[in-house]
Amino acid sequence: MGPAAARRARAERKILDAAWAEMAREGVAALSVREVARAVGIRQQSLTYYFPTKQALLDALFADGFAALRQCFDRLPAAAEPVTGVVDLAVAFVEHLVARPAAYHLMFQGTVPGFDPSPDSHAIALTVLQELIDRLAAAGITALDDVALVRSVMSGIAAEQIANDPSGHLFADQTERGIRAVLAAIHPQLTKRATGRSAQHADRQHRRANDSAASERRRPGGSAA
C-alpha cells in the first residue's frame, strides 16, 4: 500500500470509528453524517470525499461490522468435535455482538429504513454465514430449516441480552446450553457424542461468578472477606 492509500485507509478508519461511536450514542437510525464529520474534525463536504452518501457510509459500516465478526470467528481455536465447534461459534457470535449493540442492529435488525447492503458488502456477510453452515454440516446438520433454527436462536439470544439485560449476561450465559439443546433436538444422535453441559460452560459460569465477586470486593463498602 502506497502512502496515499495508507492515508486514505487511516482517514476511513477514523470516520468509521466515529460513526460507530455516534450510533452507539444516538442509535443506528439516527446516524448523522454531520455529527460524524464534526467528531472527526472535518467538514461534512470533506467527508463525502471518502463516503459520497450516507448510504455509502452505512454500507461501509455494514461491511466493517461483518469483517470484524469474521475476524472473531477466525480467532477461534480448533474444536475437539463438531458440536463444540458450533457451540464455540455461537458463543463468540453472541459475545461479540452483545458488546457492540449498534453493529447488531445494523447488521441483523434492518434498523435503517431503505438501507440495503451492496453486493460486495453482502458477500462479506455471507462468509460469516458460511462458517456456521460449514460447522453445522460437520455435525451432520445440513437442512435449510435446521440451519435457520440455529441462526434464529443465536440471533435471538443476542437480541434478548442487548434489549433486556444490557449491563449483565443473563441471556448470553444461556448460549451454550441453548445451542446444545437445539442441536440435540435436530439430531438426537448428537447427544451421544456431546452429552449435557460441557466443562467449558461450567468453567465460564464459574469465572463470571468469581469476576463478579472480585468486582464487589473492590467497590467502596464492599466485603473484604
Q: What is the mean pLDDT of residues 70-95?
A: 96
Instruction: Kindly state whether residue 179 falls inside one of the protein's structural domains.
Output: yes
Do 167 and 137 lie in one domain? The reply is: yes
Predicted local distance difference test score (pLDDT) of residue 205: 55
Spatial contact of 190 and 184, defined as CB atoms under 8 Å apart: yes
Q: Residue 127 — pLDDT band, cuts 50, 70, 90? A: very high
Inform me whether the pLDDT recorded for 165 exceeds 60: yes
Residue range of the domain that includes 86 = 55-218
Q: How many residues does the chain have?
A: 225
Do 117 and 193 lie in one domain? The reply is: yes
Task: Give every CB contact of residue 105 below 8 A, 6+ residues apart in sequence.
Answer: 23, 27, 28, 111
Do 16 and 31 lie in one domain? The reply is: yes
Task: Give every CB contact of residue 39 below 8 A, 6+ residues apart in sequence.
Answer: 18, 21, 22
Do 138 and 72 lie in one domain? The reply is: yes
Predicted local distance difference test score (pLDDT) of residue 3: 86
Q: What is the mean pLDDT of residues 44-69?
A: 96
Instruction: Kindly state whether residue 114 falls inside one of the protein's structural domains.
Output: yes
Instruction: Kindly state whether residue 182 falls inside one of the protein's structural domains.
Output: yes
Sole residue written with cell 446516524? 31
Do 111 and 142 lie in one domain? The reply is: yes
Percent of the chain with pLDDT over 90: 77
Instruction: Kindly state whether residue 223 falls inside one of the protein's structural domains.
Output: no
Do 34 and 88 lie in one domain? The reply is: no
Do 45 and 69 lie in one domain? The reply is: no
* pLDDT digits 0-9 by tens, 84-106: 999 999 999 999 999 999 999 99
Predicted local distance difference test score (pLDDT) of residue 211: 57
Query: What CATH number did the domain enclosing 98 receive?
Result: 1.10.357.10
* pLDDT digits 0-9 by tens, 181-212: 999 999 887 655 544 444 455 555 556 655 55
Instruction: Kindly state whether residue 151 falls inside one of the protein's structural domains.
Output: yes
Instruction: Kindly state whether residue 224 falls inside one of the protein's structural domains.
Output: no
Considering the entire predicted model, what is its pTM? 0.82
Inform me whether the pLDDT recorded for 218 exceeds 70: no
Structural domains in the chain (count): 2
Instruction: Kindly state whether residue 225 falls inside one of the protein's structural domains.
Output: no
Predicted local distance difference test score (pLDDT) of residue 52: 96
Do 80 and 189 lie in one domain? The reply is: yes
Mean pLDDT of the chain: 88
Predicted local distance difference test score (pLDDT) of residue 13: 97
Query: What CATH number did the domain enclosing 33 receive?
Result: 1.10.10
Inform me whether the pLDDT recorded for 213 exceeds 50: no
Inform me whether the pLDDT recorded for 160 exceeds 70: yes
Percent of the chain with pLDDT over 70: 84
Task: Give every CB contact of residue 73 below 8 A, 6+ residues apart in sequence.
Answer: 89, 92, 93, 128, 131
Give residue 132's identity as a one-letter amino acid code.
L
* DSSP labels, 179-218: HHHHHHHH-TTHHHHS-SS-HHHHHHHHHHHHHHHHHHHH
Give residue 208's identity as a one-letter amino acid code.
R
Do 42 and 66 lie in one domain? The reply is: no
Q: What is the mean pLDDT of residues 16-41?
A: 95
Do 12 and 1 lie in one domain? The reply is: yes
Do 155 and 67 lie in one domain? The reply is: yes
Do 32 and 76 lie in one domain? The reply is: no
Instruction: Kindly state whether residue 22 falls inside one of the protein's structural domains.
Output: yes
